């Protein structure tokens, strides 16, 4: 789905941004995921620095789920331990971006 969708740059969907005119910690991540899914990692990082990492985690989780559903004998590590550090990184990045643009 992300590969086929082209987000609009001028549409603001974030309620936090509507109220404060500042980007929230997640602002731009959907556009970044769409760009990363298309292989445009430069644009992806310009929208949100964590978007390529989030996409990688989504793919990792999807591959593991598919392997489990198909009962393959391949052992794929659980991606859950990577979620907390990624979430902390997104929060720190988002707060720094808010402070920089304020």
What's residue 64's pLDDT? Answer: 93
In the chain the first and final C-alpha atoms are separated, in Å, by 34
What's residue 4's pLDDT? Answer: 61
What's residue 1's pLDDT? Answer: 53
What's residue 6's pLDDT? Answer: 63
Residue with tokens 């310009």: 46
Name the pTM for this structure: 0.78
Low-confidence ranges of the chain (pLDDT < 70): 1-10, 102
Considering only CA atoms, which of 82, 90, 92, 100 is closest in space to residue 26?
Answer: 90
Report the distance separating Cα 90 and Cα 27, nearest Å.
10
Report the distance separating Cα 84 and Cα 11, nearest Å.
30
What's residue 51's pLDDT? Answer: 94
**What is the CB neighbour count within 10 angstroms for residue 79?**
18
């Amino acid at each position: 789905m992300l590969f086929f969708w082209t987000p609009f740059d001028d549409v603001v969907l974030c309620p936090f941004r509507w109220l404060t005119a500042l980007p929230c910690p997640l602002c731009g991540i959907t556009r970044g995921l769409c760009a990363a899914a298309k292989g445009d990692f430069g644009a992806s990082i310009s929208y949100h620095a964590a978007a390529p990492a989030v996409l990688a985690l989504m793919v990792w989780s999807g591959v593991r789920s598919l392997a489990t559903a198909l009962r393959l004998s391949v052992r794929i590590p659980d991606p859950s331990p990577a979620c907390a550090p990624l979430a902390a990184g997104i929060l720190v990045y988002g707060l720094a971006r808010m402070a920089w643009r304020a």
